[in-house]
């Protein structure tokens, strides 16, 4: 499936991954505040719902890719205890903030956050019981490759949970959503963040990423089974789940 490529800095000839790293390093100090403000705090509810979907799963080892400032990793460590959560992200600025939050909560024994490329993970095949990703897959240079890498490091029978922002399916909600994401958020982002382009990239990347059935189809193409999605808050966010098949089911 062909996925449209939207990059943070459209006039820049560098690879998307390099641009994404620069963008998140730039906005890291304002990232958590902007997340709360843009979603009116509802992003916390979405994360809690995602973690709830993993409660019945084996979760000795969890990998959180595109971990950012570590909110999902920290939440999983607290709610799925005992478990070990490894977070990986391209942005050193984001990871450093996440590490500070881990230390403040005394979670160094259960959460580790590292710099790494989500398309070339430094882990052996089948290393993790679960793999998660919150609001990150739309930033991948190659989304299909990203899902294949998730599949590789997941144990047979293990589950992935992906949260991603989406365009509302309701025709009534969509006009308000478009105004908010295309006008209000970029204006607020320019006022708070020093990166003028970052919060214009946000609605563009949401519109470009595969959503709902198309996202599930992309997961299936990568080799996952039992793909499904859950619409959250009028469809402004989707939670996707899928399973790496066991050898008997392959």
Written as one string, the DSSP assignment of 31-87 is HHHHHHHHHTTHHHHHHHHHHHTTTTS--SEEEEES-TTSHHHHHHHHHS-S-EEEE
Half-sphere exposure of 74 (CA within 13 A, CB side): 18
pLDDT at position 210: 93
Distance CA 182, CA 192 (A): 16
CA nearest neighbour of 94 among 144, 44, 42, 134:
134
Distance CA 165, CA 209 (A): 9
Residue 203 tokens read as 């609605």
In the block, which residue shows the tokens 């990568």? 222
Burial of 86 (0-12, 13-18, 19+ CB in 10 A): buried
CA nearest neighbour of 189 among 16, 31, 1, 12:
31
Is 171:193 a contact under the CB 8 Å cutoff? no
> What's the sign of the alpha-carbon dihedral 244, 18, 74, 113?
positive
What are the backbone dihedrals phi and psi of residue 133, each rounded to the nearest 5 degrees, phi first?
-155, 125
Q: What is the pTM of this model?
A: 0.91
Return the SS3 of 157: strand
CA nearest neighbour of 133 among 86, 83, 180, 198:
86
Residue 147 tokens read as 């899902």
Return the SS3 of 132: strand
Per-residue pLDDT of the chain (250 residues; tens, 9 = 90+): 666 667 767 666 678 888 888 888 888 888 888 888 888 889 999 999 999 999 888 788 999 999 999 999 999 999 997 789 999 999 999 999 999 999 999 999 999 999 999 999 999 999 999 999 999 999 998 999 999 999 999 999 999 999 999 999 888 888 888 888 888 888 877 777 767 777 788 888 888 899 999 999 999 999 999 999 999 999 999 999 999 998 755 5
For residue 217, list its beta bridge partners. none
Return the SS3 of 230: strand
Return the SS3 of 80: coil
Bridging pattern class, strands 128-134 and 61-65: parallel
pLDDT at position 16: 86
């Amino acid at each position: 499936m062909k996925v449209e490529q939207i990059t943070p800095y459209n006039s820049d000839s560098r690879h998307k991954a390099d641009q994404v790293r620069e963008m998140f390093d730039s906005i890291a100090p304002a990232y958590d505040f902007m997340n709360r403000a843009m979603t009116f705090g509802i992003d916390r509810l979405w994360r809690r719902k995602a973690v709830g979907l993993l409660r019945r799963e084996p979760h000795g080892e969890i990998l959180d890719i595109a971990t950012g400032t570590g909110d999902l990793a920290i939440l999983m460590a607290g709610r799925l205890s005992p478990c070990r959560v490894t977070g990986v992200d391209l942005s050193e600025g984001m990871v450093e903030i996440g590490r500070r939050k881990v230390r403040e909560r005394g979670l160094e024994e259960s959460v580790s956050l590292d710099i790494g490329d989500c398309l070339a993970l430094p882990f052996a095949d089948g290393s993790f019981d679960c793999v998660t990703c919150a609001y990150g897959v739309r930033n991948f240079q190659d989304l299909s490759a990203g899902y294949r890498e998730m599949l590789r490091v997941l144990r047979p029978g293990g589950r992935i949970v992906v949260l991603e922002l989406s365009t509302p399916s309701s025709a009534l909600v969509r006009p308000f959503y478009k105004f908010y994401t295309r006008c209000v958020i970029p204006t607020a982002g320019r006022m708070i963040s020093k990166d003028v382009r970052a919060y214009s990239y946000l609605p563009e990347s949401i519109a470009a990423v595969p959503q709902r059935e198309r996202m599930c189809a992309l997961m299936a193409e990568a080799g996952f089974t039992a793909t499904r999605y859950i619409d959250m808050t009028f469809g402004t966010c989707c939670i996707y789940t899928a399973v790496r098949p066991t050898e008997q089911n392959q």
